[in-house]
Amino acid sequence: MPDDRRPSRHTQAVWAGEQRAFQDRATQVPVVHSVSFGYDDVDDWRAVAVGEAEGHIYGRNTNPTVQVFEEKLRVLEGAEAATSFATGMAAISDTLLALLSPGDRVVSVKDTYGGTTRVLSHHLQRFGVNVTLCDTLDHAAIERAIDDGLSLLYLESPTSPTCKVLDLERLARRATASGAIVVVDNTFATPINQHPLELGADLVVHSATKYLGGHADALGGVLAGRAELVERVFRYREVDGAALHPEAAYLLLRGMKTLGLRVERQNASAMRIARHLREHPAVASVYYPGLEEHPNFDVAARQMPGGFGGMLAFELRGGFAAVERVLPRLRYAHRAANLGAVETVVAPPRTGSHVELTAAERAALGIPEALVRYSCGIEDVHDLIDDLDQALAEGDGAEPRMAD
Ligand SMILES: *Cc1c(COP(=O)(O)O)cnc(C)c1O
């Protein structure tokens, strides 16, 4: 085996950023709560402050625990640099606010994460940034919008909740030819399944709250990519103050050790469940990039070498009443807004992520009223399928029993 073979991302998720000595020979990353870092020698202090020497000054800028988390993600995404944020939305809004100026134009799609859509369609416009949101599945329309001139192309794939897939390489190439910055939200795919920087993106953002942490117990966000761009966003984040807390950084680091195992399992389970539900009489349709009938299956198969992800959605027959009947019966699922956790999580977009839209607006996004978004956990897939089957069965059903 050649020495320069790149280690697997599964190995990097465990070791990246941690192949060094920590204080007192700790093998696990210390959680450094200290807000400030003291220097006896003012020349040393100055050298750190101006970036001539390694070190930390103040927790809003940098922190040793947070730095290890950034380094792990930087390595996993194969990026020049990475910086972190208090939440995924802080990563996304800081990136847009730091890189855009009045008169700039952003091209994106209608199916971005709800908070992102809000920043794009409302807040950026207040600062005189023009935003064009294209139909997510219309690549020709996105290319026309790119050709009209832009400063930044913002993409997300697969999307929530209907798992639409964008051809990242094709769109990144087109936008790069126009000199635009290309940003991709890689939250749903994770660095295990999809590598946007290799497909031509300049920057990758994540809500670390989801798969990276994986345990639904810490909020966080991260940006990775070209050093010059990450530095510009970092300089803004330093003063806007959306710093990742060291305790959250530790929980995210701990979660990321099992990222490869979790995502591998979730990929396999989502595929099994998607195939099972496709044949189920109570289910009208299934949305999963790994099904051959998915409108962009070919693109997904090419650009997601690790797997098709742990997120799927299905439409129940019988309208929203069926959703109201089936969801409470699930024994192995939280009914909650989160996703990407070790536990299975379900949510109906109609009363969850897309509750603020009208039925007509949801329909325009291709979101049926009886849709259920399903985030596969790491439970045994047979138990998940049995659970779905009993919940979908005809009749009133017994009260949900807590499982043994
Ligand atoms: C959750 C999510 C976000 C926002 O992340 P927070 O950590 O909740 O701020 C952004 N993009 C996607 C795709 C998400 O699922």
Q: Are residues 235 and 165 in the same domain?
A: yes
Confidence of residue 396 (pLDDT cuts 50, 70, 90): low
Predicted pLDDT at 11: 97
* Average pLDDT, rounded, for the chain: 95
Q: Are residues 197 and 291 in the same domain?
A: no
Q: Provide CB contacts within 8 A for 41, sequence distance 6+.
A: none
Predicted pLDDT at 404: 53
For residue 152, the SS3 value is strand
113 catalytic per annotation: yes
Q: How many domains does the chain have?
A: 2
Q: What are phi and psi of 330, to 5 degrees?
A: -70, 130
- On whether the CB atoms of residues 256 and 75 are closer than 8 A, the answer is no
Q: What is the mean pLDDT of residues 104-133?
A: 96
Provide the residue range defining the domain that includes 144: 9-256
Predicted pLDDT at 352: 84
Cα 154 to averaged position of ligand 1 atoms, centre (Å):
14
CATH number, residue 263: 3.90.1150.10
257 catalytic per annotation: no
236 catalytic per annotation: no
pLDDT at 21 over 90: no
Q: Are residues 343 and 212 in the same domain?
A: no
Q: What is the mean pLDDT of residues 249-276?
A: 98
Ligand 1 pocket: which of 69, 84, 89 to mutate (most atoms <8 Å of CB)? 89
Q: Are residues 230 and 282 in the same domain?
A: no
Predicted pLDDT at 328: 97
Q: Does residue 399 sit within a domain?
A: no
pLDDT tens, position by position, 27-50? 999 999 999 999 999 999 999 999
Lowest-pLDDT choice from 3-7, 63-67, 222-226, 265-269 = 3-7
CATH number, residue 190: 3.40.640.10
Q: What is the mean pLDDT of residues 290-298?
A: 97
HSE-up of residue 241 (Cα within 13 Å, Cβ side): 0
* Residue of 9, 105, 110, 210 marked active site: 210
Cα 116 to averaged position of ligand 1 atoms, centre (Å):
8
Q: What CA–CA distance (Å, rounded) separates 78 from 204?
A: 10
Predicted pLDDT at 15: 97
Cα 88 to averaged position of ligand 1 atoms, centre (Å):
5
Predicted pLDDT at 1: 46
- On whether the CB atoms of residues 186 and 211 are closer than 8 A, the answer is no
Neighbours of 247 (CB within 10 A): 12
Cα 5 to averaged position of ligand 1 atoms, centre (Å):
33
Q: Are residues 281 and 248 in the same domain?
A: no
173 catalytic per annotation: no
Q: What is the 3-state secondary structure (H, E, C) of 59-96?
A: CCCCCHHHHHHHHHHHHHCCCCEEEEECCHHHHHHHHH
pLDDT tens, position by position, 144-197? 999 999 999 999 999 999 999 999 999 999 999 999 999 999 999 999 999 999
HSE-up of residue 137 (Cα within 13 Å, Cβ side): 10
* Closest ligand 1 atom, residue 221 Cα: 7
* Closest ligand 1 atom, residue 188 Cα: 13
Q: What is the mean pLDDT of residues 94-106?
A: 98
Q: Does residue 397 sit within a domain?
A: no
Percent of the chain with pLDDT over 70: 97
Predicted pLDDT at 299: 98
Predicted pLDDT at 367: 93
Percent of the chain with pLDDT over 90: 91
Cα 115 to averaged position of ligand 1 atoms, centre (Å):
8
Q: Which residues line ligand 1 (CB under 6 A)?
A: 87-89, 113, 115, 156, 160, 185, 187-188, 207, 209-210, 219, 221
Q: Does residue 151 sit within a domain?
A: yes
| Domain finish residue from 256, 279, 299 | 256
Q: What CA–CA distance (Å, rounded) separates 64 from 395?
A: 56
* Residue of 111, 113, 265, 288 marked active site: 113
Q: Are residues 92 and 210 in the same domain?
A: yes
Residue 357 tokens, joined: 């839209």
Q: Are residues 107 and 24 in the same domain?
A: yes
Q: Does residue 402 sit within a domain?
A: no
Closest CA to 218 of 253, 192, 186, 252: 252
DSSP-derived pairing of the beta strands 371-375 and 311-316:
antiparallel
